[in-house]
Amino acid sequence: MARNQGTFWPWLGLAAGILLLDQLTKVLILGYYQLGDSTYVTSFFNVVRVHNTGAAFSFLASAGGWQRWFFTAIGVAAAAFIVWMLRSHPGQKLFAFALACILGGAIGNVIDRVLHGYVVDFLDFHWSFLSGIFHGGHFPAFNIADAGITIGAVSLILDEILRVRRSK
């Protein structure tokens, strides 16, 4: 079987699963937490409710509102490009896995921006060794969509490293 043979439907299913898990968890957070509420879970993890009007690490969060539609447009364009790439390369398993993870996460955050004007974040990890980098050692809160995007990005890097090694 050639590398590009296969169907992209399972990859769309993975993206849909990430999207559904992301939206379900956000509905629960919005339903049970007020903005700023926090629940202690472990010595290094809390569940919180935070609204992010920016991008990663609250980039452009205080830009005045235009960033909502800017990041929404980027997310929609990225999703369309990823679907096209998935259709072109469904047999490249790690590559397609990476794209599917990014797709599910991107759409999850686009939905938040359209519905709420912000992205709902709720996973709060904190360690004292991070206190020199992040306020109080708290890594910026994130959500399932962000985790999917991160897993996808790491997988894309790994796929490229493996591709280069195979070509030698």
pTM of the model: 0.88
Q: Is 159 a catalytic residue?
A: no
Q: What is the DSSP string of 77-142?
A: HHHHHHHHHHHH-TT-HHHHHHHHHHHHHHHHHHHHHHHHSSEEEEEEEB-GGGTTTSGGGBPPPB
Catalytic residue among 22, 112, 146, 159: 146
Q: How many helices (H) and strands (E) does the chain have?
A: 4, 3
Q: Is 121 a catalytic residue?
A: yes
pLDDT one-digit tens code per residue, 94-148: 999 999 999 999 999 999 999 998 999 999 999 888 888 787 888 889 999 999 9
pLDDT one-digit tens code per residue, 61-105: 455 656 667 878 888 999 999 999 999 988 999 999 999 999 999
